């Protein structure tokens, strides 16, 4: 299904669309204020971009260094080529521990790998502990945003969900009360957990440690109480040195939510105590393939702040689920076609090429250039939607022949905008659903130009 078709389902609820659009724009404004409060913000972005590009050019060396350092600190490093490898490793670790109750904190990587499903199929109960992620987990949906997983939902929907799953008061939709209910429910699950799974924000080659950032403290509770911690990390997350953290952490939360820093920025160097075990699962799953691609390798610099989503006029008005991907929005539209070009071919086409995403990206990924590059790439692969191919071919023909061009212009002017709109509609273009074509001039530009000339 195309992005436009799925978006139609979202925008059918006009009030939700308006709210979604405004709520995300508000986050974007907070980001702007936070960025303006830092002297040298732009220099910081350039530095972050340069450190990432440096790191991406020497991943094998950095990972080997990390592995040696982490092992020296008593952590175990595992390597996974793909999602299946990753899921098998995690399941095996849990089985060895005899763990059937697992708490998990936010990790887009485990979403990408479908870890929850895999573990549940094998009799392991996985609880997402980030409030937003818990909400979408209970609804049986994927997150619709990488930082704000439940941004597509309104409070009354969450209230109804909690009545069903947490026995909250029917009719209650107060965020404070609902958060308390969830806190109580999740606290019991934390206390009963036998293992904690977390994502990772930054891996430090120099020290063999890693950093996890959360606002709720769920990654911390989830790794303090159980004595097994499994951290799942994508190959792109490594940075060379500890001091680089300052650069990225100053950018991350400000870009994400407009906060100066997340509430908890936790640094793990080996298991927390001799009684704890720490396993780090390093996952490729298509990343090395992307790295080999000149036009798209830079997308691996992404630090998953979500700023490009908050600012994107298409994302804000179509909702994260319209992308049909793990990571939605501009960065998702760059990353996901590399996995399944035909399936995600409509994503780069959904972009208006306004460039706002690249303007806010803290690591300066040229997102809209990459989206444009995907359009030609997908055309070469032959997976451009058929109607678009047809209309482009038609347009190309007409533009290439002055005679055809003139007669087409004449025809359209004669029949007026109605024909144009009719043709567009016939071609299945949703462009005219909420728009009128502007009135067409009676004369062509050529005719007017000739007339002006003659007057002189």
Partner 1 sequence: MSATSRQAVLDALRFASPVAVPRPVAASRRPETKDLVELLRESVRAAGGRLVVVDVRSVAALSVAALHGVVPGLEAATHVWSGVASIAARGVGADQSCVKDLAALDFCVLAGDVAVAESGAVWNVPEGPMERAAALLAEHLVLGVPCRGIVGNLHEAYARVDPAASRFGWFVSGPSKTADIEQSLVLGAHGPRQLTLVVVGR
Task: Give residues 250-279 in contact with ligand SF4 (rule: CB under 6 A).
Answer: 255
Give Cα separations from 320 to 138, 149, 153, 316 (angstroms). 18, 9, 11, 8
Select 3 or 130, whichever has its Cβ closest to partner 1. 130
Q: Which is nearer to partner 1, 4 or 77 (CB)?
A: 77
Q: Does the protein bind ligand SF4 through residue 45 (CB under 6 A)?
A: no
CA 145 to chain centre: 6
Q: Is 112 a residue that touches partner 1 (CB under 8 A)? A: no
Query: Which H or E element spans position 203?
Result: strand 202-204
Q: Site size for ligand SF4, by CB under 6 A?
A: 15
Q: Does 7 bind partner 1 (CB under 8 A)?
A: no
Q: Please tell me the distance from the alpha carbon of residue 456 to that of residue 446, in angstroms, as a whole number.
A: 16
| Local structure of residue 224 (DSSP, 8 states) | H
Map residues 358-377 to x or -, x wherever contact with partner 1 holds by CB under 8 A. Answer: --------------------
Site string for partner 1, 77-106 (x = CB under 8 A): -xxxx---x--xx-----------------
Return the DSSP state at 103.
E
- The window from 6-14, 113-121, 219-227, 382-390 that contacts partner 1 (CB under 8 A) reads 219-227
Q: Which of 167, 170, 175, 395 binds partner 1 (CB under 8 A)?
A: 175
* Using rule CB under 8 A, residue 13 touches partner 1: no
DSSP assignment letter at 273: S
Is the distance from CB of 126 to CB of 117 less than 8 angstroms?
Answer: no
Q: How far apart are CA 382 and CA 428, in angstroms?
A: 20
Q: Is 149 in the site for ligand SF4 (CB under 6 A)?
A: no
**Which one of residues 34, 151, 193, 305 is an interface residue with ligand SF4 (CB under 6 A)?**
305
Distance, in Å, from the CA atom of 134 to the CA atom of 104, rounded to the nearest integer, reads: 10
**4 or 51: whose CB is closer to partner 1?**
51
Number of residues assigned to the chain? 456
| Segment contacting ligand SF4 by CB under 6 A, of 13-21, 191-199, 283-291, 358-366 | 358-366
| 60 lines the binding site for partner 1 (CB under 8 A) | yes
Residue of 167, 118, 128 lying closest to 150 (CA atoms): 128
**Using the rule CB under 6 A, is 308 a contact of ligand SF4?**
yes
Nearer to ligand SF4, 80 or 331 (CB): 331
User: Could you say whether residue 405 binds partner 1 (CB under 8 A)?
Assistant: no
Residues 114-143, interacting with partner 1 (CB under 8 A):
129-132, 135
State the binding partner of 303 from ligand SF4, partner 1, none, CB within 5 to 8 A by kind: ligand SF4
Question: Is there binding between residue 209 and partner 1 (CB under 8 A)?
Answer: yes
Q: Which of 254, 304, 344, 388 binds ligand SF4 (CB under 6 A)?
A: 304
Q: Is 165 in the site for partner 1 (CB under 8 A)?
A: no
Beta strands per DSSP E along 105-146: 125-128
Residue 302 binding partner per list partner 1, ligand SF4, none, with a CB distance cut-off of 5 to 8 Å that depends on partner kind:
ligand SF4
Is 302 a binder of ligand SF4 (CB under 6 A)?
A: yes
In degrees and rounded to multiples of 5, residue 232 shows phi and psi of -105, 130
Among 190, 338, 341, 421, binds partner 1 (CB under 8 A): 190
Enumerate residues 263-322 that contact partner 1 by CB under 8 A.
263-273, 276, 282, 284, 288-289, 291-292, 294, 297
Residues 228-247 that bind partner 1 (CB under 8 A): 235, 240, 242-243, 245-247
**Of the listed pieces 258-266, 348-356, 400-408, 412-420, which binds partner 1 according to CB under 8 A?**
258-266
Distance between CA 201 and CA 306 in Å, rounded?
A: 13
Q: Write b or e for each residue in 413-434: b if 16 or more Cβ atoms lie within 10 A of its Cβ, otherwise e.
A: beeeeeebbeebeeeeeeebee
DSSP sequence for 348-388: HHH-----HHHHH-TT---HHHHHHHHHHHHHHHT-S-HHH
Instruction: Give the C-alpha distances (Å, rounded to integers) separating 410 from 269, 399, 413, 420, 421.
Output: 72, 14, 5, 12, 16
Nearest to 321 by CA among 5, 6, 1, 2: 6
b/e code 328-350 from CB counts within 10 Å (16+ = b): bbbbbbbbbbbeeeeebbbbbbb
Query: What does each C-alpha distance from 23 to 3, 16, 27, 235 come to in angstroms?
Result: 21, 10, 7, 32
In the list 131, 181, 361, 383, the residue contacting ligand SF4 (rule: CB under 6 A) is 361
Q: Is 306 in the site for ligand SF4 (CB under 6 A)?
A: yes
User: Contact positions toward ligand SF4, by CB under 6 A?
Assistant: 255, 302-308, 331, 360-363, 365, 367
């Amino acid at each position: 299904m195309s992005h436009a078709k799925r978006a139609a389902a979202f925008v059918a609820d006009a009030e939700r669309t308006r709210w979604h659009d405004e709520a995300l724009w508000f986050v974007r404004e907070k980001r702007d204020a936070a960025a303006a409060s830092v002297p040298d913000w732009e220099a910081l972005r350039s530095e972050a971009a340069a450190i990432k590009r440096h790191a991406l050019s020497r991943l094998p060396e950095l990972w080997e260094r990390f592995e040696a350092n982490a092992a020296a600190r008593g952590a175990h490093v595992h390597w996974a080529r793909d999602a299946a490898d990753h899921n098998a490793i995690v399941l095996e670790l849990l089985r060895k521990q005899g763990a059937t109750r697992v708490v998990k904190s936010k990790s887009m990587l485990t979403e990408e790998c479908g870890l929850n499903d895999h573990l549940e199929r094998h009799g392991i109960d996985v609880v997402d502990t980030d409030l937003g992620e818990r909400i979408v987990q209970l609804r049986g949906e994927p997150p619709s945003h990488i930082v704000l997983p439940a941004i597509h939902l309104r409070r009354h929907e969450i209230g109804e969900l909690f009545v069903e799953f947490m026995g909250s008061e029917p009719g209650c939709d107060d965020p404070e009360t609902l958060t308390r209910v969830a806190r109580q429910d999740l606290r019991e699950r934390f206390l009963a957990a036998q293992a904690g799974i977390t994502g990772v924000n930054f891996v430090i080659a120099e020290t063999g440690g890693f950093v996890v950032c959360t606002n709720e403290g769920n990654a911390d509770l989830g790794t303090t109480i159980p004595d097994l911690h499994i951290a799942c990390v994508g190959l792109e997350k490594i940075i060379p040195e500890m001091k680089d953290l300052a650069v990225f952490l100053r950018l991350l939360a400000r870009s994400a939510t407009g906060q100066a820093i997340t509430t908890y920025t936790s640094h793990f160097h080996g298991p927390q105590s001799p009684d704890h075990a720490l396993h780090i699962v390093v996952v490729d799953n298509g990343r090395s393939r992307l790295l080999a691609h000149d036009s798209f390798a830079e997308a691996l610099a992404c630090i998953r702040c979500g700023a490009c989503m908050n600012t994107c006029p298409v994302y804000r008005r179509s909702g994260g689920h319209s992308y049909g991907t793990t990571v939605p929005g501009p960065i998702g539209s760059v990353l996901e076609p590399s996995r399944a070009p035909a399936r995600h071919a409509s994503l780069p086409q959904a972009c208006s090429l306004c460039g706002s995403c690249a303007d806010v990206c803290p690591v300066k990924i040229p997102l809209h250039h990459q989206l444009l590059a995907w359009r030609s790439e997908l055309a070469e692969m032959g997976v451009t939607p058929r109607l678009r191919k047809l209309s482009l071919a038609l347009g190309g023909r007409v533009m290439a022949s002055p005679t055809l061009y003139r007669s087409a212009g004449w025809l359209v002017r004669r029949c007026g905008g109605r024909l144009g709109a009719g043709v567009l509609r016939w071609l299945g273009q949703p462009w005219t659903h909420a728009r009128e074509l502007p009135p067409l001039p009676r004369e062509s530009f050529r005719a007017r130009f000739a007339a002006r000339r003659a007057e002189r």
